[in-house]
Amino acid sequence: MMTLFHHLPAPLPLGSSSNKYNQQGFTLLEVMIAIAIFSVIALGCWQVLDRVTTTKSHLEKQSAQLRELQRGLWLLARDIHSVINRPIRNSIGEQEAAVTTLVAGYTLLLTRNGWPNPLGEKRSTLQRVGYQTEPNENGNNSLFRYYWPVLDQAPDTEPQQQVILENVDYFEVQFIDSQGNVSFHWPEKSNNENQTNDHIIPAGIRIRLNVSHYGEIERTFAIRSIEEESS
């Protein structure tokens, strides 16, 4: 019986060229090139991510500003559309017309109908509302909405206030009478120069305001008086 022996090649000496090849690593130049490539890729990724984040923040800010503008104009429209001819007595006992610009400290004062009362409190559904521009707590000129808990006020009656629009450069109100004439003040004077037509409300109110990022905005609202509709 014949046995076959396979002769394995003898291991190479430690100093051979094959071992030298297997043991050698990256050269310093190769490492530097790899780091440079990685840095370029990382920088590009960071720039893309930063641009996406910045764009997202900008869009969110614009969306918030647009929602604020829409809400502010909606509040103005709701209040003006629901004006009712109900004069009130202020905290010092003087009568104020249902719609007026003649009270210091307010660009516009009006009495509106439709104040919600979900809790069924013992109060009127009519509400006294005022608008005025002034700096808010951050120093930005803003449009404030004031409202009173009662129509005929006691000496200690104080209004609540809310900011409905920020960064408002100006807020202007015009009044349109039943003949289409436009006036910057209301109530208008009667034929007797010492009296005003306190019992008359305008047929429409036009507002102009300048809001940062949007420029000048103009809206004209027709007043639908419940008293007129029911007559």
CATH assignment at residue 154: 3.10.610.10
CA distance linking residue 54 with residue 221, whole number of Å: 39
Mean pLDDT to the nearest integer, 36-46: 86
Looking only at the bridges linking them, the beta strands covering 215-222 and 108-112 are unpaired
Q: Report yes or no on 211 lying in a domain.
A: yes
Total residues belonging to the chain:
231
- Domain hosting 75: range is 62-230
Is the residue at 183 inside a domain? yes
Would you state the pLDDT for residue 196?
57
Residue 83 belongs to some domain of the structure: yes
pLDDT at 34 > cutoff 50: yes
User: What is the structure's pLDDT at 226?
Assistant: 45
Q: How far apart are CA 25 and CA 210, in angstroms?
A: 69
Average pLDDT value for residue range 186-191 = 77
Residue 27 belongs to some domain of the structure: no
Lowest mean pLDDT among 67-71, 104-108, 204-208, 221-225: 221-225
Q: Judging by beta carbons within 10 Å of its beta carbon (0-12, 13-18, 19+), is residue 14 exposed, middle or buried?
A: exposed
Query: Confidence band (pLDDT; 50, 70, 90) for 229?
Result: very low
Please indicate, yes or no, if residue 68 is contained in any of the structural domains.
yes
Q: Are 221 and 208 in contact (CB under 8 A)?
A: no
Q: Of the candidates 205, 196, 202, which has an alpha carbon nearest to the alpha carbon of residue 177?
A: 202
The domain tally of the chain equals: 1
pLDDT band at 227 (very low <50, low <70, confident <90, very high): very low
**Paired tokens of 66:** 């647009």
Q: Which residues have C-beta within 8 Å of that of residue 152, sequence separation ≥ 6? A: 88, 89
Cα-based angle 86, 88, 94 (whole degrees, multiple of 5): 145
Pick the range with the lowest mean pLDDT from 64-68, 120-124, 199-203: 120-124
Record the pTM. Answer: 0.70
Percent of the chain at pLDDT > 90 equals 50
Residue 47 within any structural domain of the chain: no
The whole-chain average pLDDT of the chain stands at 83
**Structural domain contains residue 159:** yes
Residue 174: count of CB within 10 angstroms of its CB: 18
**b/e 101-118 (16+ beta carbons within 10 angstroms → b):** beeeebbbbbbbbeeeee
Residues paired with residue 183 on neighbouring β-strands, in sequence order = 175
Encoded amino acid at 32, one letter: M
Higher pLDDT, 112 or 29: 112
Top pLDDT among 155 and 193 is at: 155
Q: Which amino acid would we find at residue 60?
A: E
Q: Does 222 fall in a domain?
A: yes
